[in-house]
Chain A
Amino acid sequence: MKLFKIRGGVHPDDRKKLSANKAIEPMPMPKLLRIPLQQHIGAPAEPVVRKGDKVLKGQLLADSKSVISAAVHAPTSGQIMAIGNYMAPHPSGLPIRTITLKPDHDDRWIELPAEVDPFTLTLDEIVKRVADAGIVGMGGATFPSAVKLGLRKRYELHTLVLNGAECEPYLTCDDRLMREQADDILDGIRIMMHALQVEQALIAIENNKPEALAAMREASSGFNKIKVINVPTRYPMGSEKHLVQTLTGKETPARALTADIGIVVHNVATAHAVHDAVRFGRPLISRVVTVSGGAIQQPRNLHVLIGTPVQDLLDYCGGFLEQPSHILSGGPMMGHPIPDTKVPVIKGFNGVIALTAKETAIRPPMPCIRCANCVTACPCGLVPLEMAARARNGDLQGAVDLGLMDCIACGSCAYVCPAHVPLVQYFNYAKGELTLRQRAEHKQAETKRLAEQRAVRIEHQKKAKREAMMRRRQEAARKKAAAQTTETEV
């Protein structure tokens, strides 16, 4: 198949060798599981259990109450110890609503529905099963998958793209999953194709994963609507819009979805979760996590229950070789630092990476020398240096005019910057600040309305008072007049 070129991009050293040959292994049961109620984009889930309840593995803990949200289930059987706030697996380390579960080590499943043939289900039933299983995009974006599977209703779709690019350095969880469970992934793909009613599926795998490619080719050999495609290794190939461009040559219009050009993209790990959920009714309660990085004693790929503390993963991998300079969730390009190793693993964690200072090669920032390496590297055709200069000088609107909102924060610009300017942080700052301002504006509109209401009310009150006064006066006058008449009569 003919592939198309994307603009820019970088070639970071992939360092996948550290963990690529380690088979996925299960983790021992942790002592406590902490399950945040918001592990996805959208509204937090609402708890349906209470403190002290005994729950079974796979039992619903918190339900999604709005359109864009995802349910949360018990990763194992045990007792609810608390429903409260706990440090979020987020750079800020701010608290998040979290259910604490003490495993009883029986690991007893809740009664699951009998296995069904997904192709006998109605399309809506499939989407409902995916929603009930609390599946979110497992490549890290954590967008509720059921919403994406329901796009058929609003868009004319023709292609499902499976993202197995895994372009982030270090990460090998999708690679291992494709190698070891190709048939299950393929089943998930077929279910998703059915749910979306698309004509074809393209599985895109970067050419630095020949084993995964072979495994998926073999698994898909019987299905002529499913093609496995070898895409070039180039960061950010795994970006949804750029992957679609590589495969079809079509750019997704700005501020639109890939569905606008008839394509839906899902991660391969999501396909695996869909297989589990639709065929067996098993909710999403665990995932594969790569633990890697130069500071890790024994890099591994682990099958981890949602809610397991990161510290347990590190301990299981033998701890640190040397003091890491950064500990991240996700890959080094787009991952985020974790505030503490006690935070739990959530649905979107594809890796826990501990990097040494030498590996990161981060230096103190110098002033921008306008070398334009960032302009060449930007896959979105932006001018990062100008945007950052405006963000730095507080001219956020100027940054937006230059395309800030088209930035996907892939980090290619900052990766190549010889001055080590923290470009991505400038953009994230500017975007966050703008969102805050929007919210403030919203509040302002609201308070304006309140102030106007109040003005009207006070006006009413005054009027009422005036009228009352007037009435009283008239009353008094009448009485007086009446009294006078009686007097004269006398």
Chain B
Amino acid sequence: MKITVPIIGGPYTHETSSINRLMLWVMLALLPVTAYGLYLFGWPAIFLFTVTVLTAIIAEALSLWIARRPIKPFLLDGSAVLTGWLLALTLPPWAPWWVGVVGSLLAIVIGKQVFGGLGQNLFNPAMVARVALLISFPLQLTTFVAPHPLFAAGSPGFMDSLHVTFGHAAQLDGISSATLLGHIRTQLSQGIDLSKALLNQPSLTQLLWGNTAGSMGETSALLILAGGLLLLARRIISWRIPVAMLATVAVLATIMHMLDPLRYPDAAYHLLSGSLMLGAFFIATDLVTSPVTGKGQLLYAVGCGLLIYVIRSWSGFPEGVAFAVLLMNALTPLIDYYIKPRVYGRTHRGEPIQYADEATSKKS
């Protein structure tokens, strides 16, 4: 029997892993918190989510088509869906449809495809879109609503919801509700200290379960944690980024809270509110834009945590996850440039190891 076999380089056995599989696991991990968010904020959230993800897919396909790259394998890798998905989770659930569309276009086209597509982007595409939207449309991006669970009394029905998402956004004024971080920021700027500002605000348990105002997928710390643990168990992300990032924020918050309890909320509030949890497990851990070495990842995560705390506490924005992640994304190449693992048989500086007794092992 004569057969021809391709002559390609080795190895000729492989782990049963692929990019699609990685992306599918991340989506699976996002599923609980997404489902809960969609339930919590009702039809408008479902519409916005659908519009955002669909736009991401279409934008990806169009970009690939324009760049004359093969469309099918890159669409099927799931990265575009995931980008749209993550972006949707960070948007206010009742934001108008065009926020999702513009956001997805920014994420896929400016955030990813101009860099050459999958794996080439320097910044997290979802966070590029999130920051660009926040700066361009501050009103729409900071108008949050209290939870209006699906089918609950007082929640908008299907038709009303169409109006919320695809109609005029101005009607939200009556039912808008601030996020905890936004509320604290406003109160502090008015000279009201935390002992009063935190009255009538969601309790820690509420924050844990996520039954509060906030972005679509950021409210339930517990469900995000569950998804994150799944990714950790599957070894898709390493423990370093989430742990170091959360620990940095917690330590800083505790120190500042001890220094001035009336101005700085304690660690629990910081950890459970805003997009910190989602950021720590799903956004900062983005493989493409985070450092490749363990030490580098620790440094990156500590940097993220530090920046988040600084921006939350002292800058003009109540929430800093997106900014912090973008800033650390920008530093990632430098981190990878300066922090490299030690090469076998070499010192950290790259010189061959020299043993003190080497003189004895080589005869002259």
Contact = CB atoms under 8 A, between A and B. Distances in A.
Q: Do A and B bind each other?
A: yes
Interface of A: 7, 10, 12-13, 91, 93, 153-157, 169, 241-242, 245, 250-256, 259-262, 319-320, 323-328, 332-337, 339, 353, 355, 359-364, 366-373, 375, 378-383, 385-386, 402-403, 406, 411, 414-420, 422, 424-425, 428-429
Contacts of B134: none
Contacts, number: 199
10 tightest Cβ-Cβ pairs between the two chains A and B:
A425-B9, A411-B11, A254-B345, A372-B292, A367-B119, A332-B13, A254-B352, A380-B344, A253-B352, A361-B14
B341 A335 contact: no
B74 to A, nearest CB: 8
B5 A366 contact: no
B363 interface: yes
Contacts of B346: 253-254, 381, 403, 406
Given A254-B346, A320-B1, A369-B19, A335 B119 contact: no
Interface string B97-124: 0000000000000000000111110000
A383 B288 CA distance: 15
A363 B346 CA distance: 35
A320 B5 CA distance: 13
Contacts of B361: 155-157, 259-262
Nearest to B355: A261
Given A153-B363, A369-B119, A382-B341, A419 B19 contact: yes
A375 B292 contact: yes
Contacts of A153: 363
Contacts of B353: 251, 253-254
Interface in B306-351: 336, 340-346
Given A362-B14, A425-B9, 12 more contacts: A93-B7, A255-B352, A262-B361, A337-B5, A360-B12, A370-B289, A372-B292, A375-B292, A375-B341, A379-B344, A381-B346, A418-B21
Contacts of B18: 363, 366, 418-420
Contact of A382 (B16, B73, B117, B343): B343
A247 to B, nearest CB: 15
B10 A383 contact: no
B362 interface: yes
Nearest to A426: B9
27 contacts: A93-B7, A155-B362, A169-B13, A253-B354, A253-B355, A253-B358, A255-B345, A262-B361, A324-B3, A327-B5, A328-B10, A328-B12, A359-B13, A360-B12, A363-B14, A364-B73, A366-B18, A367-B119, A369-B287, A370-B119, A372-B287, A380-B343, A383-B292, A383-B340, A414-B11, A414-B14, A419-B18
Given A155-B362, A371-B22, A415 B5 contact: no
B186 interface: no
Contact of A260 (B9, B120, B292, B358): B358
A370 B287 contact: yes
A79 B76 CA distance: 61
A156 B12 contact: no
Contacts of B9: 422, 424-425, 428-429
Interface core residue of A369, A382, A385 (most chain B CB under 10 Å): A369
Interface of B: 1, 3, 5-19, 21-22, 73, 77, 116-120, 287-293, 336, 340-346, 352-355, 358, 360-363
B341 A371 contact: no
A153 B16 CA distance: 48
**Majority SS at the chain B contact face:** loop
Contacts of B362: 154-156, 260
A362 B16 CA distance: 9
Nearest to B341: A381
Contact of A241 (B290, B293, B336, B344): B344
A327 B1 CA distance: 14
A378 B342 CA distance: 11
B292 A370 contact: yes
Nearest to B337: A386
Contacts of B1: 319-320
B14 A334 contact: no
A416 B10 contact: no
A422 to B, nearest CB: 5
A170 to B, nearest CB: 9
Contacts of A372: 287, 291-293
B293 A251 contact: no
Contacts of B16: 361
A418 B290 CA distance: 17
